[in-house]
Every structure is written in structure tokens, then in C-alpha cells.
Amino acid sequence: MSQPHLRTVVVLAAGEGKRMKSALPKVLHPLLGRTLLGHVLAAAAPLAADRTVVVVGHGADQVRGHLAEVAPEATPVLQERQLGTGHAVRIALDAVPEVTGTVVVINGDVPLLRPETVAALVEAHEGAGAAATVLAAEVPDPTGLGRIVRDADGRLAQIVEERDATPEQRALREINAGIYAFDVARLRDALGKLSTDNDQGEEYLTDVFGLLRDAGEPVAVHCAPDHVETLGCNDRVELAGLRRLLRDRVNEGWMRTGVSILDPHTTWIDVTVRVERDAVIDQNTQLQGATVVGAGAIVGPDTTLIDTTVGEGASVVRSHATGAEVGPRATVGPFAYLRPAAKLAEKAKVGTFVEVKNSEVGPGAKVPHLSYVGDATIGARANIGAATIFVNYDGVKKSRTVVGEAAFVGCDTSLIAPVEVGAGAYIAAGSAISQDVPPGALGVTRAPQRAIEGWVARKRAGTVSAEAAERAREGASGEAGAASEGD
């Protein structure tokens, strides 16, 4: 007990998950910011295992690729044919013959499992010096799950799969969650004795418990504090149910740290997101990936933020952002679209129907309406008029536009990159600017206005426009006549 135990984690992830009806292996289905497998690995992370082995089979290449991204320290071990959970663990342990101490085995499809629960299971197991300990839970509906069968003294007798169970055993509601701690030496020994004498003709890991007990080894049951943690995922309906449960858990967590979530049922926050105090998340909002929402910021309603940082006191209303940075006290939306590398400095404004990509909008600068800002640097306090387009693409390459500090760009301007508008320069509304405008100059490209008198009467005779023009002309001459008469 005094010696620290070496620990190895084995995650079983070789199954196909037939009922998911998917080209994607079951364990790679996403759930609020991580895959099912990612959640399981995160639950095991605080064990600080010396080795993590993931048994792969169906979609092995995809699962290996995912592991390389999210858990490069884990060792994938191939189980070519899925001959049962016992077979899977045997193959995993064959790949790490040197390990001693405790082996924690976790089914790859229990994403709601909490790290505290895994840690408590392992501590109970090691503390008791058990040969094997299973995590169990009382569930309302045990259909399809292995049952914990206890003896007259209430001790674990065996774990029986539903299809092999007697009617009395089927009536038990205490189930095997599919999470275990084992003493590796005794586990190896028992795995060597597994039979395939069961309804599926597979090697069941669960049979290890009966074998160890019959050999006089101490086996134990550890009860999960909340059966919800042990819920597995077999089809997409169950996956949606797990997603709702995790959503509620995540939202509750943030509310308890001082975040206001106005409608928790329509707010979906990935487990990878961070939200600071006094932020307000309004309804129908999704916060995803590496998103961070700063203190006192307002996000939503109807907003999706992916890998986006929102500064303190900023607001993002009815908008979509991905890979963007919104500075402190900046305002975004309603109906804005921020794309990767859109960087809004402090108090910048990006307003209605504005799209920003790979651009810096300086402190206090404003792009209030109907604009596209691509590959631009906009200086502090510059004002970009409605319907300004940063023309960044000539059909072959993209170029940058620089707008200086406190420049004023009139409405309906095209800034044709590469081009620079100097500090404090003005651009006349309706211009197409393709040459640099010096600081403080007025840039203007409008053709002089002409009025071709009588054009509508000649070219559009008989239209409502021609009639209206005629009435206006008569009215004007009548008024002119009356005025001269009265003079």
C-alpha cells in the first residue's frame, strides 16, 4: 500500500458500433467538443498512467489518426477480429509485457464518465488490495447490459451478460458499467483461462471476475455515484440523449461559476470552451472548440462561436464566428460573419451584414453596415461606410488593403487591393479606389454627374415614371406661375 502503484489504462475501442449505421467508427462520433473516445481518455487523464493502450479494430486507421492528434502518448494496439472484450484486453496486455501494478480498463463508449469516478474506483481497488474491481450502477432500465450477481453475503459472485442470464438475474438492476481496475498479474492469469462458452462465442472480460473469485482472489464492486455517468452509446438516439445530459452538466457548471445562461436548453457549450464570470449567454447559442468568452461579455441570442475569443465586456449578437478574435468591449452584429483571423481590437464595431476575414479592425474603428472586409488592416478610429467592399481577390491572387488611423471611407466604396488609404484621409462615397490615397487627402473617382433632360418622356413614354414626371413638371410650372402672379 505504501508503494505507489504503476498504472496502465486500456481503452477498448475496436468495436464497430453497428447500430450507429455510420462510416465513422462509433468511438469517433463527436459529443460537445470531443469524440466519445476523447471523453474517455480525458476521464482517465488524471490517473497519470504510465501507459495508455487503445485497442483499435474497426476503422483502425481513422482511430489511429485521431489518437495521433488528441493523445499522441497513447499506444494503439490492433485487434484484427473482435473476439470479445476479454480477447481485446489480452491483446492489449500482450503489447505491454513489462507493465506491473494496476490496469484500468474502460469501454470506449462511456463519454459521461467523470475523472473523479475513475479515480475513486482505482483508489478503492488499490486501497483494498483487490484482484479486480468493477464499477457498477443501479439503473432504471438495465436492458442489454451485464448484471452484477451478488452472493448471499452481498459480495460479487459473477457478472452475467443479459443474453446468458436467468430470468431472476435479468431482473437485477445493478449493472456492469464497463469500467474496471485489475491487478495486472492476476488479470493476465485469468485472461488465459477464459472460455468462449457463451451465447456470443466470445471471450468475455467479465468472466474474469467469476474466475478470480473461484480461485479465492478478492474481487470488489465499486458503485458509481450517479448512474448517468455510466451510460453507454449504441445508436444515434442514445448519442443525442447523452449530448443533452452533457449539455446540462456543462451549463450547470458554468452557471455555478458565475455565468448567466438565459436558456440552458438551447445553449450548447463544448467541454473545451472557457467562459468567464458575469458573461451572459443568450438563447440558441453554441460555443465550440477553443472558444473563450471574457468576463461580462454578452453572446447571443442565435450565435455560433467556433475557436473564437471574445474579450471582456464585448458583445456578439446573432452572429457566426470561426477562428476570430473580438477585443474587449468590441461589438459584433446583429448578423455578422467573422471568419478565420478576423481580429477586432478594443471597442471596434462590426455591424449588420458585415463579413470580416483575415483582417485587423483597429481600436474604436467601425464597420457598421453591409460590408466585406478581406485581407485588410483598418487603423484605429477609422470609419468604413456602409457597403464598402475590400476587393481583395483579382481572380488569381489575394492582396492587402491598409486603411490608416481615423480615415473616413464613404459609403459604397470599392477599395481595390493592393491599396493604401492614408491616416485621416477621406474617400468620397461611391468611389473605386485602386491607387494609394495620401494622408489627409480626399480620394474620389466619381464621374461628374449629368442630367439628360426629358429622357424618360422620350424613351419611356407611357410608363408610370413618365406620368409622374409629367405631373411634377406641371405642378412645378403651376407653382411658378402662381408665385409670379402673387408677386
Applying CB under 6 A, the residues found at the interface with ligand UD1 are 12-15, 55, 57, 79, 82-85, 87-88, 107-109, 145-146, 159, 161, 175-178, 204-206, 232
Query: CA-CA distance, 56 to 95, in Å (whole number)?
Result: 13
Cβ pair 412, 401 in contact under 8 A: no
**Beta-sheet pairing, 132-138 with 174-183:** antiparallel
Given 29, 39, 125, 369, which residue is catalytic? Answer: 369
Is 172:156 a contact under the CB 8 Å cutoff?
Answer: no
In whole angstroms, the minimum distance from the beta carbon of 9 to ligand UD1 comes to 14
- To the nearest whole angstrom, how small is the minimum distance from the Cβ of residue 57 to ligand UD1? 6
39 a catalytic residue: no
CB contact at 8 A, 288 and 309? no
How does strand 383-384 pair with strand 156-160? unpaired
Total of chain residues touching Ca ion, rule CB under 5 A: 1
Q: What x-and-dash track marks residues 272-291 binding Ca ion by CB under 5 A?
A: --------------------
- Residue 201: how many other CB atoms lie within 10 Å: 10
- The span from the CA of 362 to the CA of 315, in Å, is 16
What does the alpha-carbon distance between residue 64 and residue 400 come to, in Å, rounded to a whole number? 40
Q: Which is nearer to ligand UD1, 13 or 269 (CB)?
A: 13
Identity of the residue, 232 or 385, whose beta carbon is nearer to Ca ion in the bound complex: 232
108 binds Ca ion (CB under 5 A): no
User: To the nearest whole angstrom, how small is the minimum distance from the Cβ of residue 234 to ligand UD1?
Assistant: 7
Write down the least CB distance from residue 88 to ligand UD1, Å.
4
Q: Which of 378, 375, 377 is nearest to 398 (CA)?
A: 375
Shortest Å, Cβ 127 to Ca ion: 29
Cα dihedral sign, 47-49-55-60: positive
Residues forming a β-bridge with 319: none
Q: Does 84 bind Ca ion (CB under 5 A)?
A: no
Can you say whether residue 319 is alpha, beta or left, with left for phi > 0 and alpha for psi between -120 and 50 degrees? beta
DSSP reduced 3-state for 416:
strand
Of 84-92, 225-233, 340-348, 401-409, the segment contacting Ca ion by CB under 5 A is: 225-233
232 binds Ca ion (CB under 5 A): yes
Residue with smaller CB distance to ligand UD1, 174 or 346? 174
Residue 83 site contact among ligand UD1, Ca ion, none (CB < 5 to 8 Å, cut-off depends on kind): ligand UD1
Q: Does 142 bind Ca ion (CB under 5 A)?
A: no
**Which residues are annotated as catalytic?**
369
Residues near Ca ion, by CB under 5 A: 232
